[in-house]
Structure 1
Amino acid sequence: MPEWPVYTGASAPHDGVDRLPAPPPWRAFDGGPVLPTPADADDAAAVSPDRVHRAHTYRATRESVQLVNAALYLRRPLLVTGPPGTGKSSLAYAVARELGLGPVLRWNITSRATLADGLYQYDPLSRLYAAREAAPVSVADHLRLGPLGTALLPYARPRALLVDEIDKSDLDLPNDLLNVLEEGQYEIPELVRAGGEALVRTDGTDRQVPVAGGRVRCRAFPFVVLTSNGEREFPPAFLRRCVTLRLHRPDETQLAEIVRAHLGEPDAHARQLITRFLSRAHSGELATDQLLNAIYLTGAAGLDAPTREELAQRLIPHLDDADPLSDGR
């Protein structure tokens, strides 16, 4: 039977994603041959302390649980917007861990990022050098799939793809993504010209997968999280193809729960810092990790009360303050 919610936000891993109902007819994909989901250990970056910690400690809101499930059911990208430090990127790691989606594929967007960067990278110079040395030359030996290109391989389960800070891209990238995310497929012209089947390396590992005729089509549409700090508006055509989640600053109860997940039960000093953090958040930009840093350091350093208070003040400057060394009052 179908399961709702598939993603519960309770953190405990399970196989609920296998009980998703069939996709809407216009979002059904049939790529092959079917590939198994990689293990986290296959990607060294996936088992970094930062990513593992994010996946375990993320605390989902009721709204985020509902909209993650909407994206999974509809096979649509999830556009997550909100201020810095509200857990936009951590959400992808938490969902991938709970649903067993394998290592999160991460594409960090800059102003120079292009669609081709996300799909694959091809090095013609290394191929030319190999040809000069009379070595056997294969186009696939000099090509590696990018995070988006890997996510669209025909995996049995969805892969998780984090497209981080898409609002930093140039104006064309969101529109360029439309066709690929709508069709769930793409071509690699270098392999199309070569013809036949090639073994191509995937993002994050040296594992090779078969690509026939230079064409890749997904089977299970990936769980795509696109994050934005709200620095720009997106085209209507792009927005209507996404499920949109707006994250807000956590309130006192949520902050206490976040501190508890990261550092254990907050003591009196930690609760004072939470109160101060909330009061200062009304007058400038702050991020939750600033609060976590302040609580950890002022507790671990064993400082006397005046020094501890002064240090805490310095660790929570407003992010939009022109003078971060001011007293922040």
Structure 2
Amino acid sequence: MNEWRIYQGSDEPHDGIGRLPPPPPWRDFGAGRDEVTPFDRDSPGRGRQRLPLGAAYRADDGTVEAVNTALYLRRPLLVTGDPGVGKSTLADAVARELRLGTVLRWSINSRTTLRDGLYRYDSLGRLEEAGVARHSAPADEVPERADLGRYVSLGPLGTALAPYALPRVLLIDEIDKSDIDLPNDLLDVFEEGGFDIPELARAADHQETVRVRPADGGAPVTVVRGTVQCRAFPLVILTSNGEREFPPAFLRRCVRLQLPSAVEDEDRLRAIVRAHLPGADEDADAVISAFMAHASTGELATDQLLNAVYLMTRTSPEGAPGLDRLVRLVLQHLNATAPAGT
């Protein structure tokens, strides 16, 4: 075992995260804080009963080194690459190998705001319940104050910043599709390792401690005086298809990884097929050759190859389309419309 490599890039879960040394002084967010939120380190997540995606991921040396650098420095990892090269699956692979529980996922679009990732506050529900309480209480009694934790739920980013003893894995998917301000808005949160919930901070004098729901449905998170503060900075993996540039202030706070395309590497394509469809690589030569030839004339993703291999090796051949037709059905270029007649 390579001692420096906490994440080994293997498919065997282990407890190597216990070897992670203390953070640099400028990235220490208070490991001595009293409150700790437990989480299930081996949970596949709600609705994820199939084989975890990370079990079939194969990381090269550059990827392994970048992940470990982000872990040591407590910095986000910005992963750029073509569609289908495994940017999102990397988060599953790290979480599975290091036994860091459910991957917290935050998918980004042009309307996404920072608050969407941090928390939600059900103000309407609180107003309605407060109105019912006032009308139902006897005239000579003061209605009991509502538990504010019932109206607050953390988003994926907010959950990742809860006071866990070990880092959670957060996937911020397709950050390049965000509004132009979101990367800069994230900087303060990444630098502080926490955030405030104003609705809880305003009520802290009469309800100092509130327990709120995390995004993964796990144990409630204890919020003190409206502040969520991490103990262990999460492993934040941000993915980008390279569709835009990011401000220098954002880039210098990230560890950056450019994933190479696999479409011209036959050995790597065969390894990907072997990992996802054991045994099928022996019968997939023609499909891999067709995929590589088709990729030379337009953009393709490796999951398209897997779909084609599955159809050729795992379904009945009787009445099935031939390889040429399969190419037109499944291996359609991502940067062009489908050809006529498909």
TM bucket normalised to smaller? over 0.9
2:294 is aligned with what amino acid?
R
| Deviation of the 1:139 alpha carbon | 2.2
| Deviation of the 1:185 alpha carbon | 1.2
Match of 1:17 in 2: 17
| Deviation of the 1:303 alpha carbon | 2.2
Q: Is the 8 A contact 2:37 2:220 kept in 1?
A: no
Cα distance in 2, alignment partners of residues 198 and 3 from structure 1: 41
Match of 2:186 in 1: 177
Give yes or no for the alignment of 1:154 onto 2:163: yes
- Describe the shift of the 1:13–1:281 C-alpha distance in structure 2 as closer, same or farther (beyond 3 A): same
Cα distance in 1, alignment partners of residues 224 and 254 from structure 2: 30
Structure 1 stretch displaced more, 230-239 or 274-283? 274-283
Structure 1 stretch displaced more, 156-165 or 273-282? 273-282
TM-score normalized by structure 1? 0.93
Q: Is the 8 A contact 2:103 2:170 kept in 1?
A: yes
| Partner-residue secondary structure (3-state), 2:72 | helix
- Describe the shift of the 1:264–1:29 C-alpha distance in structure 2 as closer, same or farther (beyond 3 A): same
Unaligned runs of 5+ in 2: 134-143
Match of 2:334 in 1: 319
Cα distance in 1, alignment partners of residues 281 and 247 from structure 2: 46
| Partner-residue secondary structure (3-state), 2:239 | strand
Match of 2:140 in 1: none
1:272 is aligned with what amino acid?
A
- Describe the shift of the 1:138–1:325 C-alpha distance in structure 2 as closer, same or farther (beyond 3 A): farther
Deviations along 1:119-166, one digit per CA (max 9) or x if unpaired, are: 001110011111122185232211101100010111110000000011
- Describe the shift of the 1:130–1:305 C-alpha distance in structure 2 as closer, same or farther (beyond 3 A): closer
TM alignment of 1:264-275, pairs within 5 A: 264-267=278-281, 269-275=283-289
| Deviation of the 1:325 alpha carbon | 4.8
Percent of pairs with identical residues: 54
Q: Is the 8 A contact 1:37 1:156 kept in 2?
A: no
Cα distance in 1, alignment partners of residues 170 and 110 from structure 2: 19
Give yes or no for the alignment of 1:63 onto 2:62: yes
- Structure having the larger proportion of residues in helix: 1
1:37 is aligned with what amino acid?
F
Say which of 239, 249, 272 aligns to 2:261. Answer: 249
1:26 is aligned with what amino acid?
W
Say which of 275, 293, 306 aligns to 1:261. Answer: 275
| Deviation of the 1:34 alpha carbon | 2.1
Structure 1 stretch displaced more, 271-280 or 170-179? 271-280
Unaligned runs of 5+ in 1: none
| Deviation of the 1:89 alpha carbon | 0.4
Q: Is the 8 A contact 1:42 1:205 kept in 2?
A: no
| Deviation of the 1:14 alpha carbon | 0.9
| Deviation of the 1:292 alpha carbon | 0.5
Deviations along 1:28-49, one digit per CA (max 9) or x if unpaired, are: 110631223334548414x342
Cα distance in 2, alignment partners of residues 17 and 37 from structure 1: 15
What value does the CA root-mean-square deviation take over the aligned residues?
Answer: 1.9
Match of 1:168 in 2: 177
Q: Is the 8 A contact 1:256 1:266 kept in 2?
A: no
| Deviation of the 1:267 alpha carbon | 4.7
Computing the radius of gyration from Cα coordinates, the structure with the larger value is 2
| Partner-residue secondary structure (3-state), 1:100 | coil
- Describe the shift of the 1:326–1:230 C-alpha distance in structure 2 as closer, same or farther (beyond 3 A): farther
Cα distance in 2, alignment partners of residues 8 and 66 from structure 1: 9
- Describe the shift of the 1:316–1:325 C-alpha distance in structure 2 as closer, same or farther (beyond 3 A): farther
Cα distance in 2, alignment partners of residues 20 and 322 from structure 1: 48
Give yes or no for the alignment of 1:78 onto 2:77: yes
Deviating above 6 A after TM superposition, structure 1's stretches of 4 or more consecutive aligned residues are none
Cα distance in 2, alignment partners of residues 48 and 324 from structure 1: 37
Cα distance in 2, alignment partners of residues 114 and 48 from structure 1: 31
1:163 is aligned with what amino acid?
I
Match of 1:44 in 2: 46
Q: Is the 8 A contact 1:130 1:136 kept in 2?
A: no
TM alignment of 1:22-41, pairs within 5 A: 22-30=22-30, 32=33, 33-41=35-43
- Describe the shift of the 1:139–1:9 C-alpha distance in structure 2 as closer, same or farther (beyond 3 A): same
| Partner-residue secondary structure (3-state), 2:321 | helix
What is the count of residue pairs matched by the alignment? 323
| Deviation of the 1:17 alpha carbon | 0.8
- Describe the shift of the 1:326–1:287 C-alpha distance in structure 2 as closer, same or farther (beyond 3 A): farther
| Deviation of the 1:324 alpha carbon | 4.8
TM alignment of 1:178-217, pairs within 5 A: 178-195=187-204, 196-205=208-217, 207-217=219-229
| Deviation of the 1:311 alpha carbon | 3.6
2:126 is aligned with what amino acid?
R
Match of 2:235 in 1: 223
Cα distance in 2, alignment partners of residues 39 and 77 from structure 1: 21
